[in-house]
């Protein structure tokens, strides 16, 4: 199912494209997005409706918007139960398609990033705590339902989900999308949000910003040369929040844009859609 295409269809038609959706439900809930691993589904229903995903309640905004998403390795169908304000109920079952992930081998990574020392491991553990507390799951804003834009225009050099080897050693999959751009290129907020972390130098991520789009959807911008925002600040879509750099575990300047929904790693490219025609780079860059 193609998100770009769906955006131009009336919501009622979008809802009917989902497998298992009863025809009589079409005017009470609609879902847009791709039901695939790493996919993000945005729902619209009547304000005051209770929405339950696999037994867990989802936040529903005043506008009736809600969100759920599928991890890189999600397996199987999900079940959505809705209870409308008039107490009528319905249940939907959504099949989640699997994806194939390519292997990416990156050589020439500094050894401190591949085999950190005990001291460096302590710093990595401290960073992990900072990052965990920067991902609230209950922010009552529904900016996630607005159309996302790319934070930087450029050549995509790494896609979501790649299985990675650094200097020949297997490491965690690549959870972001990499966009090559020269150091100093402005990074824009892909949607409105509240800054939850603004750090000049995390061990792996380098300069990093966590941006909270509401209901647990968090954008992460990594390897920044400059961080222009502060924790707690609210930014609008398109506002410049920092600049591309080559900080942290990189082999060249690029933006790595990641996205979490609750504990799941999800694919930002599915929200941002096709990259606008990139401007030519001023010089060649290599980006993991």
Q: Which one of 71, 212, 256, 267 is in contact with Zn ion (CB under 5 A)? A: 256
Contact call for residue 176 and Zn ion (CB under 5 A): yes
Taking CB under 5 A as the rule, does residue 205 contact Zn ion? no
Interaction between residue 212 and Zn ion (CB under 5 A) = no
- Choose between 33 and 206: whose C-beta lies nearer to Zn ion: 206
Strands (E), the chain: 29-33, 40-45, 50-53, 56-58, 65-69, 78-83, 89-94, 103-106, 155-158, 163-166, 169-171, 177-180, 186-188, 193-202, 206-212, 217-227, 234-235, 240-244, 254-261, 264-266
Give the binding range for Zn ion (CB under 5 A) out of 1-9, 23-31, 169-177, 189-197: 169-177
Nearest to 259 by CA among 201, 191, 200: 191
267 forms part of the interface with Zn ion (CB under 5 A): no
User: Binder to Zn ion among 34, 71, 178, 212 (CB under 5 A)?
Assistant: 178
The least CB distance from residue 156 to Zn ion, in Å, is: 10
19 Cβ partners below 8 Å, 6+ apart?
93, 94, 95
Contacting range for Zn ion; rule: CB under 5 A; set: 62-70, 154-162, 188-196, 260-268: 154-162
Per the DSSP assignment, residues forming a β-bridge with 113 are none
| Contact (Cβ atoms closer than 8 angstroms) between residue 219 and residue 196 | no
Residue 136 or 252: the one with the smaller Cβ distance to Zn ion is 252
For Zn ion, which stretch binds (CB under 5 A), given 48-56, 64-72, 157-165, 240-248? Answer: 157-165
Site for Zn ion, rule CB under 5 A = 158, 176, 178, 256
């Amino acid at each position: 199912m193609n998100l770009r295409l769906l955006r131009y269809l009336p919501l009622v038609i979008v809802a009917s494209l989902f497998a298992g959706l009863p025809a009589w439900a079409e005017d009470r809930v609609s879902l847009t997005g791709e039901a695939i691993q790493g996919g993000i589904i945005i729902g619209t229903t009547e304000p005051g409706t209770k929405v339950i995903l696999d037994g867990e309640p989802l936040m529903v905004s005043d506008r009736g918007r809600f969100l759920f998403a599928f991890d890189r390795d999600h397996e199987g169908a999900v079940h959505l139960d809705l209870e409308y304000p008039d107490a009528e109920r319905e249940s939907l079952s959504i099949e989640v398609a699997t994806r194939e992930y390519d292997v990416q081998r990156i050589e020439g990574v500094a050894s401190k990033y591949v085999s950190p020392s005990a001291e460096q491991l302590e710093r990595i553990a401290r960073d992990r705590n900072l990052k965990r507390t920067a991902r609230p799951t209950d922010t009552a804003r529904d900016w996630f339902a607005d159309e996302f834009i790319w934070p930087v225009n450029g050549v995509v050099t790494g896609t979501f989900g790649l299985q990675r080897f650094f200097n020949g050693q297997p490491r965690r999959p690549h959870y972001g999308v990499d966009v090559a751009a020269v150091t100093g290129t402005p990074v824009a907020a892909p949607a409105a949000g509240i800054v939850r972390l603004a750090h000049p130098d995390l061990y792996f991520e380098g300069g990093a910003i966590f941006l909270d789009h509401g209901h647990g959807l968090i954008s992460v911008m990594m390897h920044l040369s400059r961080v222009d925002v502060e924790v707690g600040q609210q930014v609008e879509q398109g506002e410049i929040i920092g600049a591309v750099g080559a900080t942290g575990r990189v082999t060249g300047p690029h933006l790595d844009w990641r996205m979490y929904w609750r504990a799941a790693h999800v694919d930002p490219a599915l929200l941002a859609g096709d990259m606008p025609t990139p401007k030519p780079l001023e010089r060649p860059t290599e980006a993991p």
